[in-house]
Chain A
């Protein structure tokens, strides 16, 4: 891990936390998965659903919903299948925790970048109460403008449908009432990022062990 990349990751972490998010470090993917499990154990209140993570193996055993506390490493959902329309509201209403992959992050503003090919996966970061994003440290960009060539590529690639890209800057918020800030309006109330490839993120008090929250 170059020190430059370390700096980007640290800057991202401090911005993200200033926005009300939580950041955790993990050296390997396996460690990241156990960190995710810890977060779910401590902060989850209901059903968990996962989007495919970036290692192909894990997509082998699609399972729609798991009870809280279950080891998610072997239970990865590639899709949140709705079945027929009347079942949809119930299914989504019941999911408490969504685990997704963050494709990139931007240090300058402290946002995650999610590239989703399927609205079901996208909903895992927007309809749930607790959102956990797993991010590779090498994918942290310095500035928002660094995203331009990436977005150009993503949206110009041939074929339909095009992916949907979302920038997420912490938990959802509003100041519509008397300009007082409140979190967790419609989107997630709590957002955690687990950065893979960076165990020791502790610099200026940024980052923490998942045990500590």
Chain B
């Protein structure tokens, strides 16, 4: 679980930085500012570089970069080029083109050298060869160096060091990328850990920097913040071992004609900048944190989940610089869990960028049949509830499951939850109490599960709020959250749902109601997704501001009115002592489950959060689907979490607020899986 180590190290390091979250905001601010003023920054930077005696070349695309470098190579008689790691040069496949012209190119970053020898593409932004075992690496070097390299880490290092030394010293040209370009002085900053960039840049007579234009910042203060941000986000260390700051070509005695060339690459970046959706992708600082946390990337890896830029951010970047077809090959691996956005130091709305790419692909190539079915889950739920209990009998029979797979693409192994005829909508008036002097008003957004599958839970929510003297209404005509539409790239349909739900809920907000949902995905849509879909409209923002998860609302508004205890009812909760809590992905963007934990503890439970730091695998309707992009992948993603739960004998019961997570966990976890509200009893504290 190399990715988990990356996540944990990052958390520790962020905690050490004086201002953890502010730090993240700073990164976002600096990069946004840089994107906004890009043209000016690039011009200023270029002018300063020229003043410093460097040569500057603006390249529209990869071909121009190749031609430019070939021109220099021919002029200087360069036969051997050393490179330090540069994703930008990989983006344009520089090595291949130079080699085709008879120039030998040697990658000096160890991970890059390994994949160069193996003839592969990078597996991960920061750790390109993390998929190779130590013995595979020893073998690679043995073959390449025609010597026996033992399967020992130190021996491999010493061999590599010795083998690359003469290469460093003989190269006529060194090519690097740049992590940051500082416009105020025309300086490039190159960050490495191995020290290879030092040798690549200081020894050869010609140093060429290939940098994407989005790397520019204005000032040294901003540059130093990024220099600290890159490693903290990527590997949880403070600085990379070597940070080289270069403004001009330093002399080296005995060598008169030394040159520094700075190639500033566009290759789709200026187009990205003009695009209101994709503009924010330019904030990416290439830290790799998003792929460390992505549940499906963690299972399939960067060769499947990527072309040259892997992982979540790789989807929009690939679409923009390499084209839709390449991006479409892996865009549908994204399950819209939203974790990438939560961890991104530049707060890029990666999930919605990915949704846009999916939409482009669906418009071009049509929607996958299985996805069409999933997106229609609302209609299906209605029908199944209306025809319950017959529907349940059919759905859960083996014939039903078989047909379900063949006709609807729902994996037959998946246990579908049962539907209830007595939906919350139907029975609402029975659970609703009219309150004399309510201290608050709530419009309840039940989404699908609390209405069709577990109306009893929906009723508990209503009772809970009413016990705190809060008036609850169930607005008519509410759709489900619409999240599946987003997950499958049906953004027009998603926008319709958003518009509809917001138009129904806004009048309530205007009248002083708050909106509560117990399904984390529903609150997530209200707060994060609808405003994006509706272009940040006033209405959607107003609704977002007044939307809460159930326990958030409890904590903020009514905790003084309710005293919580263990539920005394059919669920035997009073016998439970230790609760294992699962934070659903969408919840991580909201309350992270903190107020729920507080409430459970107040009721007298011992609660611990059990997590792998990534998704349980269900990802909404994703885990229902038959086929490779569905049930099997979903189970693979969730396996480590299931094991954690099952290996903890101290736990009596598992609690989670997401209906879909419940289904995933209930299939494989040995303890009962319930909603926190199933564990709680509430009574009014004193009188008003």
Identify the A interface with B (CB < 8 A): 15, 19, 79-85, 88-89, 92-93, 108-111, 116-120, 122-123, 125-127, 144-145, 147-149, 151-152, 155-156, 160-180, 182, 184-188
Contact = CB atoms under 8 A, between A and B. Distances in A.
Contacts of A175: 127, 193, 235
B165 interface: yes
A164 B203 contact: no
B244 A164 contact: yes
A164 B127 contact: no
Contacts of B238: 15, 108-110, 169
Contact of B243 (A166, A174, A177, A188): A166
Contacts of A83: 254
Contacts of B133: 178
A157 to B, nearest CB: 10
Interface stretch (B149-157, B267-275, B418-426): B149-157
B169 A173 contact: no
Contacts, number: 207
Nearest to B115: A176
Interface string B231-262: 00001001111111111111111110000000
A21 to B, nearest CB: 10
Interface stretch (B103-111, B350-358, B453-461, B496-504): B103-111
A14 to B, nearest CB: 13
B629 to A, nearest CB: 28
Nearest to B132: A177
A178 B252 contact: no
Contacts of A148: 219-221, 224
Contact of A187 (B130, B187, B194): B194
Contacts of A179: 2, 5-6, 127, 130
A92 B245 contact: no
Given A118-B250, A123-B202, A149-B220, 4 more contacts: A89-B169, A125-B198, A155-B245, A187-B241
Contacts of A123: 198-199, 202-203
A126 B202 contact: yes
Main secondary structure of the interface of B (DSSP, over half): mixed
A160 B129 CA distance: 40
Contacts of A126: 195, 198-199, 202, 242
A160 B185 CA distance: 13
A172 B224 contact: no
Nearest to B172: A85
Given A109-B228, A156-B185, A180-B153, A119 B245 contact: no
B369 interface: no
B137 A177 contact: yes
A177 B134 contact: yes
Interface of B: 2, 5-6, 52-53, 108-111, 114, 127-130, 132-134, 137, 153-154, 156-157, 160-161, 164-166, 168-170, 182, 184-187, 193-196, 198-199, 202-203, 219-221, 224-225, 227-228, 235, 238-255
30 contacts: A79-B253, A80-B253, A92-B169, A111-B243, A118-B253, A120-B252, A123-B198, A123-B202, A123-B203, A126-B242, A144-B239, A148-B220, A151-B220, A152-B220, A155-B187, A155-B247, A162-B185, A163-B247, A166-B244, A172-B194, A176-B110, A177-B114, A177-B129, A177-B153, A179-B2, A185-B110, A185-B195, A186-B108, A186-B161, A186-B199
Contact of B242 (A116, A152, A172, A182): A172
Closest CB pairs A-B (n = 6) = A187-B195, A126-B198, A176-B111, A155-B185, A162-B247, A172-B195
B395 to A, nearest CB: 45
A174 B251 contact: no
Nearest to B243: A167
A108 B185 CA distance: 25
A149 B108 CA distance: 33
Contacts of B221: 145, 148
B76 to A, nearest CB: 12
Nearest to A156: B185
A107 B638 CA distance: 42
A150 to B, nearest CB: 9
A176 B195 contact: no
B95 to A, nearest CB: 18
A148 B187 CA distance: 13
A100 B320 CA distance: 46
B53 A160 contact: yes
A88 B243 CA distance: 25
Contacts of B108: 186
A152 B185 CA distance: 7
Most buried by B among A151, A168, A180, A182: A151
Contact of A172 (B154, B193, B239): B193
A186 B193 CA distance: 9
Contacts of B247: 155, 161-164
Given A126-B195, A165-B245, A177-B153, A144 B251 contact: no
B165 to A, nearest CB: 6
Contact of B252 (A118, A151, A155): A118
B160 A185 contact: yes
Contacts of B224: 144-145, 147-148, 151
Nearest to A172: B195
Contacts of A82: 252-255
Most buried by A among B108, B133, B198, B254: B198
Most buried by B among A116, A162, A168, A170: A162
A108 B203 CA distance: 31
Contacts of A144: 224, 227-228, 239
A125 B242 CA distance: 11
B406 to A, nearest CB: 43
Most buried by A among B52, B153, B238: B238
A168 B253 contact: no
Contacts of B240: 169
Nearest to B136: A177
Contact of B198 (A111, A145, A187): A187
Given A89-B166, A122-B198, A167 B153 contact: no
Nearest to B245: A165
Contacts of A168: 241-242
A132 B6 CA distance: 32
Contacts of B111: 174, 176
Given A144-B224, A164-B250, A185 B157 contact: yes
Contact of B194 (A93, A116, A169, A186): A186
B166 A176 contact: no
Contacts of B156: 177
B241 A161 contact: no
B200 to A, nearest CB: 9
Nearest to B191: A167
Nearest to B162: A93
Contact of A186 (B137, B166, B195, B249): B195
Given A161-B52, A176-B130, A185 B194 contact: yes
